[in-house]
Amino acid sequence: MITILIKDKVDPFLIEELKERSFIVKNSPEKQDTLLQEVRENEILIIRSATKVTREVIDAAAETGLLKLIIRAGVGLDNIDFEYARTKGIMVANTPEASSSAVAELALAHMFVLARKMVVANLSLREKNWNKKYCQGIELSGKTLGVLGMGRIGKSLAHKASALGMKIIYSDIIGDLNVNPAWKFVSADELICNADFISLHIPCNQSGSFVIGKSELKKMKKSAFLINTARGSLVDENALIEALDKGEIAGAGIDVYRQEPCDNIKLLKNDRVSVTPHIGASTREAQYRIGREILQIIEKYSNCGIPVRY
């Protein structure tokens, strides 16, 4: 009988469906101190963002050889040393399609918040300050959105932004994807220099260097906004704060951080920044779709011994 360990919070639907299929489910979210022992005792591990599957965890699992599959309930694999896991005979899978729309909507929400100065408007009005003149904003229609990384989420965002009348330029490591004749492929440098909104939808830089650092921020328009719902390590937070303080860019919408939970007070309390606590995939609909995708992965593993993809 296959035993499944769930280490982060998932949709209750998934747990119910797994049990109904006669899998043995052990649900112990947020108990990280037990992970090293638990991976020795279970065949499948399901995680989200909080749990880190390091070499230490993988080595612990390899002592018994029972762990065969790690599933990340989300898009990336940054919190799993998946290359090392493969050397130990452990397969890794994720759910890349399920949360694309949810993340794209959050990126768009940050754009609206910044364009209409809703951070200041909301906070000042709660203090009974009627700062109507200070809150004059801009419209998204007619502005240029630069999508850095035209994958599933980037495409979803571009479609939504196009419907609002935004012009789309994009850059992707693969090159010109010919995804839409109205969307223009440009170099990353051209995108950074010309976009009114820059939204990041790429994985971490393998070299560990920032994709958006001091030099990139200086190239942006002073009226431009940076949106990051992808990975916290893509942006130099200190350089971003400095650029905001100097007026080198207009603002930023941030959902992911170098360290989570984020304790960078200068970033969190900056009134030019719209912040959310890594909630890109946190919608009822996305979590349900993620649950469905995990079920498909597990059923395929159970029947064929292989994961779907990653």
Catalytic residue numbers?
A: 231, 260, 278
Q: Which of 268, 199, 275, 202 is nearest to 233 (CA)?
A: 202
Residues 78 and 231 sit within 8 Å (Cβ to Cβ): yes
* Stretch (H or E) spanning 14: helix 12-20
Q: How many CB atoms lie within 10 A of CB 265?
A: 8
Longest pairwise C-alpha distance within the chain = 66
Strand partners, 275: 254
How many whole angstroms separate alpha carbon 166 and alpha carbon 99?
23
Residue appearing with tokens 């399609």: 97
Q: Which residues contact 237 (CB under 8 A, 6 or more apart)?
A: 257, 258, 264, 267
128 torsion bin: left (phi>0), alpha (psi -120 to 50), beta (else): left
Residues 211 and 200 sit within 8 Å (Cβ to Cβ): yes
Buried b (16+ CB within 10 A) or exposed e, 267-282: beebebbbbbebebbb
How many whole angstroms separate alpha carbon 295 and alpha carbon 20?
11
How many whole angstroms separate alpha carbon 248 and alpha carbon 79?
33
* Stretch (H or E) spanning 4: strand 3-6
Q: What is the DSSP letter of 185?
A: E
